[in-house]
Structure formats: structure tokens, C-alpha cells
Chain A
Amino acid sequence: MNRYLVAAAASVALMLVAAAFIFFFAPTDALQGPVQRIFYLHVSSAIAAFVSFAVVVVGSVAYLWRESIVGDRVARSAALVGVVFTTVTLVMGMMWAKPIWGTFWTWDARLTSTLVLWIIYAGYLLVRRLAAPGRQAARFAAVVGIFGFVDVPVVYFSVTWWRTVHPGPVISTDALPPEMLFTFLFTMFCTLVLAAVMIAVRYRIEALSDAQPAAQFVLQAARRSTS
């Protein structure tokens, strides 16, 4: 069995253990009821998404600075994984918001900036697709990746003027009972492992497709003829 398969199986197993903790170990929230259990995976995938995008920035800077092809591949892989986790965060957040806030969406600073994050990195993936493969795609995408990462805190900051309804940080203020805290930290750990494994697998795919320029060319031609 190859090591990617082992890593993937292990990370899925870890997520299942985390699910067991979320549903059977963590106590039910007194005010919100069972809906609160969304919190564990929602916040964990938000953190995994931010970490992935931070990896995109590191990879992009490495590429622009040193033309590091490894940096570019890492950025490519992490951007896709980050978009996946941002999608999970947004969808789970909306599922939680409907029963608790009475609406799926509100233009709160955190929601707005997360949505902007999703849009920017979805744009990053599009730039990769539309630019000429190789140096141009890598450079343009790196610029988009870095600007996106700078823009999101700025969006967050500028929207914070309006009253924000999103629950504030609960970890640093000791508001969580120990069972909940343990479940959260464990879920976060498992989610980060899953994200790391996904990035590694994606890196392998990118490396293989870089090594096969002929296959890449056929793929591009096929895309061009269909679009």
C-alpha cells in the first residue's frame, strides 16, 4: 500500500473519532441544544482554511522571490484545499445560523470577510486555469494569492464598524466547559491533519502533471476546445 493511501485512511479514521466525540462525548449546549455541535467542525474547518491560505501566501512569496517551483506547487495545492474548507465553513455556518439567528445570512464582519476569502481564492483557481501554463500562471496566481490574503483582514476591519452579531471568541475567555474544550481541540487537530494530507496528495498530483508536459498540453487543448 502506498503511503498516501495510508495517510488518507488515517486522516479519515481520525475524523470519524472526532465525530464520535462531537456526538457522544461533548455535552449538549443548555441554550442552543444539539445545533451547537456544528460549532466543533465549523470553527475547525475555518482554522484549516486560514492555515491553508497562509500556506498559499508562503508558497507564493517563495515563488516570486526565488522562482521556487516547489513553492508554486504548494500554493496551488493549498489554495484548492483552502477553498474546500472555506466552503465547509460557510455551509455549516449557515446551517447553524438559521435556527439560532433565524436567518441563513447576515452581513456581519466575519461572514462578509469569509465570503470574500472564498471569492478571491476561487478567482485564484480560475487565474491558474486561464493563464498560459507555467511561469505566467504561477506569477499571476501568486500575486492574486498574496493580495487576497492582505485584503481579507482589511475587509474584516472595515466592516467591523457595524455591530457584529457573530459569537465572539469563546476559547480564550474560558467560556467552554472542559469536555467541550477537549472535543473542540481534538476536532481541530483532526481537521488540520486532514487538510495537511489533502494538500500532500494534491501536491503529488500537481508534481506528476508538471512532469508530464505532454499530458498537460493535451488537457489544455481539450479545455480550450470545450470552452
Chain B
Amino acid sequence: MRSIAIALAVARKDLVSEWRSRELVPALAQFVVLALVIANFGFQIDSINAPAIAPGVLWLALVFAGLVAFGRAFAAEKEQASLEQVILTSAPAAAIFAGKALAAAALLVLCEAVLLPALSLFFGTPLSLALAAAVFLATIGMASLGCLFAAMVAQLRAREVMLPLLTLPLWIPFIVAGGQAVQVMMGGGGSYGQALWLLIDFDILFVVLTSLAARFVLDE
């Protein structure tokens, strides 16, 4: 119970500080819209090829927005030297980690609330609850892995380079399964249900693993 309270307190602290500064979410929202604009010029989008290209653009924009969001979650603490103080408290590392991951995931979900309608608007693809559900499930797993490695690279040199290098390979399962689900929703073949169950399985696996690993990363 205490751990859950700590996790919620940490998440609340991060969300309040984001609400007061309003730095990250507007920048990320602008970034994902910009990614769609760039994709439009890169791929020569028209009404015929849009449904085939849109899922790829969605995941690329989301992956890079995620890297920025999760990187900031710990980089800001490190810059203000507050990470050490948070770690020095008697709170379990897994609870601190869960709180940070929760807040970062919430920020990414806000950013998805801009990305999905924008994609639908610019690419003419259908927007549905099922699509949002797949993206949301992938976000959970991506946030847990992304925050674990963000916590690690915040303590390394060359952190900007290392976060994508360590995180992207581990995100591949989520992008494969999430990509499959989104493709089905945009008119491709395959099974949506199977992809969704896989996403849930991957979420459980990596949420458990990252919580176990948190105490080895958040301890100096």
C-alpha cells in the first residue's frame, strides 16, 4: 500500500511540475504534428498509399516522441540534482520508478491525443477506439522500458545517444504487435485480437521485469 502511495505521489509531483511549466507536452505535440508534415513530403502521400504508410508514420512519430518524453523524465531530475535526494529517501526504488513511469506514460498519452486525430486528419485514416486501445497498451510497455533505461542513461556520459540505442531494440516487440493491430484497423490483413493479447502479454512481462530491475538502476 505504501509503495502505491509513493508511486502516486511521485507521479503527481511530475505531473504538477509539468502542469506549472507546460514545457514538454506542447513541444511534443508540436513535434508529432511536424513529423506528419515531414512524412507527407518524404512519402508523397496521396489517398491511395496513405493507409499503407500511415501505421509506419504513427509508430515512428510515437517512438521518437517517447524517447524525448522518457529521457526528460530523469534528465530534469539529474540536472537539478534532485535524483540523488529522491533515491536517498527510504522509499523503495520500484515505487519511485513506477511513479516516474506513470507520469511519463501520462504525458505520452496526452501527446497521442494530438497525434491520432492529426494522423486521421492529414492521412484520411479511420480513427477508432480499438486503434487508441492498441496504441495505449503499447505505451504502457514502452514507458516501463523507456523509463528504466532513461534512469540508467541519466547517470551515464553521452546520455542523448545511449537512450535510443538501448531502448529501441527492446521496444521492437511492442512496435511489431502494435503495428500489426494498427494495420488491421487501417484496412490491412491479420488478426486484431491476437495482436492485442500479445501487447497485454508483453506489457505484463516487461512491467514485472522493469520493476524488479529498478532497484539496481536507481541506487548509487
B16 within 8 A of A: no
Chain A residues near B202 (CB-CB < 8 A): 154, 158
Q: Pick the contact of A159: B155, B176, B209, B216 (CB < 8 A).
A: B176
Interchain CB contact under 8 A, B170 and A136: no
**Bound complex: CA of A65 vs CA of B138, how far in Å?**
30
Report, as a range, how many residues of chain A touch the other chain: 20 to 34
Stretch in A14-22, A32-40, A47-55, A116-124 touching the partner: A116-124
Determine how close the nearest CB of chain A comes to the CB of B214; give it in whole angstroms: 9
Chain B residues near A148 (CB-CB < 8 A): 169-170
A25 within 8 A of B: no
Interchain CB contact under 8 A, A126 and B165: yes
Determine how close the nearest CB of chain A comes to the CB of B96; give it in whole angstroms: 16
Q: Which residue of A lies closest to B168 (CB)?
A: A119
Known: A127-B156, A130-B157. A158 touches B169 (CB 8 A): no
Interchain CB contact under 8 A, A140 and B217: yes
Chain A residues near B54 (CB-CB < 8 A): none
Chain B residues near A120 (CB-CB < 8 A): 166, 169-170
Where chain B touches its partner, the secondary structure class is helix
Chain B residues near A147 (CB-CB < 8 A): 145, 170, 209, 213
B113 within 8 A of A: no
Chain B residues near A155 (CB-CB < 8 A): 169, 172-173, 176
Determine how close the nearest CB of chain A comes to the CB of B151; give it in whole angstroms: 10
Interchain CB contact under 8 A, B216 and A64: yes
Interface string of A155-167 (1 = CB under 8 A from B): 1011101000000
Interchain CB contact under 8 A, A130 and B156: yes
Interchain CB contact under 8 A, A131 and B173: no
Determine how close the nearest CB of chain A comes to the CB of B203; give it in whole angstroms: 12
**Bound complex: CA of A196 vs CA of B209, how far in Å?**
30
Interface string of B135-157 (1 = CB under 8 A from A): 00000000001001000100111
Interchain CB contact under 8 A, A140 and B169: no
The residue in A120, A126, A132, A151 that gathers the most chain B C-beta atoms within 10 A of its C-beta is A151
Interchain CB contact under 8 A, A143 and B169: no
Interchain CB contact under 8 A, A143 and B176: no
Determine how close the nearest CB of chain A comes to the CB of B199; give it in whole angstroms: 10
Interchain CB contact under 8 A, A131 and B216: no
Known: A123-B166, A126-B165, A130-B157. A139 touches B173 (CB 8 A): no
Which residues of B approach A to under 8 Å, CB–CB? 145, 148, 152, 155-158, 162, 165-166, 169-170, 172-173, 176-177, 180, 190, 198, 202, 205, 209, 213, 216-217, 219-220
Q: Can you spell out 26 A-B residue pairs with CB atoms less than 8 angstroms apart?
A: A64-B216, A119-B165, A120-B166, A123-B169, A130-B156, A130-B157, A132-B155, A139-B217, A139-B219, A140-B155, A140-B217, A143-B148, A143-B217, A144-B152, A144-B166, A146-B213, A147-B145, A148-B170, A151-B172, A154-B173, A155-B169, A158-B173, A158-B176, A158-B198, A158-B202, A161-B190
Which residues of A approach B to under 8 Å, CB–CB? 64, 112, 116, 119-120, 123, 126-127, 130-132, 136, 139-140, 142-144, 146-148, 150-151, 154-155, 157-159, 161
